[in-house]
């Protein structure tokens, strides 16, 4: 009969309880999991803030680009319409009766035409056919273009400025891009943001 007296140093050590070993492993696993969740939340919040700031900056620059061009062309088209739908205070000048031009009148007319045809345009093109004066002679339905431009401005003004989980920002941006292209096609090549503007968001540091 073996001696199992615990006071006897020569007594054999009783076997360890397997259940205690399993519980010890599970305890350390739970402690490690809690540490990982805590550190993950801290790191994820920082990464989310950086990512959100970067993407919101990119969307803001793009929306501002669309808004500026749409507002520019809307002003041009409205000013060229005979009834001035924007309600400008300057009424359209009635055409003068035809008369035989003098040399001085001819020179003035040529100078004015050159000035209008070289007006700056947001469309980046070397062709003078994309200037506002030239576009007004080629747009078949300016009222439809004006309606599309107003839709672009309205969509941008209604763009959400808060981080709402129920808002689909990607779908809203795609809708604005589509409406912008639809408005720009009758006016010539669709303008795009320059590479310098796009690279700004890529060089941001936090």
Task: List per-block mean pLDDT (blocks of 10 residues) for the chain, which spans 206 residues.
Answer: 55 62 79 89 88 90 94 90 53 47 41 32 44 61 91 94 84 94 89 60 40
What is the SS3 string spanning the chain? CCCCCCCCCCCCCCCCCHHHHHHHHHHHHHHHHHHHHHHHHHHHHHHHHHHHHHHHHHHHHHHHHHHHHHHHHHHHHHHHCCCCCCCCCCCCCCCCCCCCCCHHHHHHHHHHHHHHHCCCCCCCCCCHHHCHHHHHCCCCCHHHHHHHHHHHHHHHHCCCCCCCCCCCHHHHHHHHHHHHHHHHHHHCCCCCCCHHHHHHHHCCCC
Question: What pLDDT, on the 0 to 100 scale, is given for residue 179?
Answer: 94
Question: What pLDDT, on the 0 to 100 scale, is given for residue 189?
Answer: 84
Residue 43, token pair as written in the block: 């790191």
Question: What pLDDT, on the 0 to 100 scale, is given for residue 61?
Answer: 94
* Cβ-contact 61, 193 below 8 angstroms: yes
Model confidence over 14-40: pLDDT tens digits?
555 666 666 777 888 888 998 898 888
Question: What pLDDT, on the 0 to 100 scale, is given for residue 166?
Answer: 82
């Amino acid at each position: 009969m073996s001696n199992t007296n615990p006071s006897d140093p020569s007594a054999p050590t009783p076997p360890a309880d397997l259940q205690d070993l399993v519980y010890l492993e599970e305890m350390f696993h739970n402690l490690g999991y809690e540490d990982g969740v805590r550190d993950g939340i801290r790191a994820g919040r920082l990464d989310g803030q950086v990512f959100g700031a970067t993407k919101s900056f990119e969307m803001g620059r793009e929306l501002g680009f669309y808004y500026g061009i749409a507002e520019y062309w809307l002003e041009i088209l409205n000013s060229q319409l005979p009834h001035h739908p924007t309600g400008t205070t300057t009424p359209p000048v009635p055409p003068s009766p035809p008369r035989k031009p003098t040399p001085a009148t001819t020179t003035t007319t040529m100078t004015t035409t050159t000035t209008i045809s070289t007006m700056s345009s947001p469309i980046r093109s070397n062709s003078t056919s994309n200037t506002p004066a030239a576009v007004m002679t080629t747009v078949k339905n300016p009222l439809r273009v004006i309606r599309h431009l107003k839709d672009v401005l309205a969509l941008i003004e209604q763009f959400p400025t808060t981080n709402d989980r129920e808002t689909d920002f990607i779908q809203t941006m795609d809708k604005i891009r589509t409406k912008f292209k639809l408005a720009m096609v009758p006016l010539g090549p669709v303008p795009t943001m320059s590479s310098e503007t796009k690279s700004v968001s890529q060089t941001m540091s936090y």
